[in-house]
Amino acid sequence: MSKRKTPGLNTGAMSDISFLLLTFFLLTSSINTEQGIPRKLPPPKTDDSQEQIIDVKRRNVLNVEVNYLDQISCNGEIIMISELKDKAKEFFANPTNSDELPEKQNKLIEGIGDFAVSKGVVSLRNDQGTSYDMYVQVQNELQRAVNELRDEAALQYFGKKFSVLDSAAQKSVSTAIPMSISEAPPMDYGTNGAAQ
Phi, psi (rounded to 5 degrees) for 141: -65, -40
What's residue 51's pLDDT?
47
What pLDDT shows up at residue 15? 80
pLDDT for 151:
94
Task: Using the Cα atoms of residue 52, residue 58, residue 64 and residue 66 in order, give the sign of their dihedral.
Answer: positive
User: What CA–CA distance (Å, rounded) separates 101 from 42?
Assistant: 23
* Phi and psi angles of residue 149, each rounded to the nearest 5 degrees, phi first: -65, -40
pLDDT at 78: 93
Between 81-93 and 132-158, two packed helices, what is the crossing angle to 10 degrees?
40
Which pLDDT does position 196 carry in this prediction?
A: 39
Measured CA to CA, the distance from residue 76 to residue 64 in angstroms comes to 8
pTM above 0.85, yes or no: no
User: Which parts of the chain register pLDDT below 70?
Assistant: 1-2, 8-9, 31-56, 188-196
